[in-house]
Amino acid sequence: MKIEKKNLKEKFSLINDYWNPRIAGEINDSHVKLAKVKGEFDWHHHVNEDELFLVNKGTLLMRLKEGDIEINEGEFIVIPKGVEHKPVAEKEVHILLIEPKSTLNTGNVKNEKTITRPEWI
């Protein structure tokens, strides 16, 4: 595969829906994913996968059982495997995710928000 750089703004501009992470790159066994989010996601955890959220635009509220954490532009958080979390975005937020390729967006929960085969962008 040809080596190419990816421009985050350009890739985000191609996304027209929420909570539908697109694959923008792969590093070893992990994917780099990009998503626009707005509103409340469901509480869930990932049994085997840590998950990194880097906020590219806006403010993401990460609800955790131990307390909520507000993640602003230029900040990241790693949610370790097994930890219940619920991402909430009052306004539109652009996030970059790093997580193993095996990661389901809804983790241990399967419902209408579950994306089983994320697309490349």
Task: Output the six-digit token pair for 80.
Answer: 């370790």
CB of 11 to a copy of itself, least distance (A): 10
Residue 13 dihedral angles phi and psi, to the nearest 5°: -65, -15
Report CA-CA distances (Å) from 58 to 26, 35, 37, 52: 25, 12, 10, 16
Burial 55-92 (b: 16+ CB within 10 A, else e): bbbbebebeeeeeeeebeeeeeeebeeeeebebbbeee
Specify the residue, 103 or 106, whose C-beta has the smaller distance to a copy of itself: 103
CB of 112 to a copy of itself, least distance (A): 27
Q: Which residues of this protein are in contact with a copy of itself, per CB under 8 A?
A: 1-9, 25-30, 32, 49-52, 56, 62, 64, 66, 69-72, 74-81, 83, 98-100
Specify the residue, 38 or 81, whose C-beta has the smaller distance to a copy of itself: 81
CB of 82 to a copy of itself, least distance (A): 12
CB of 52 to a copy of itself, least distance (A): 5
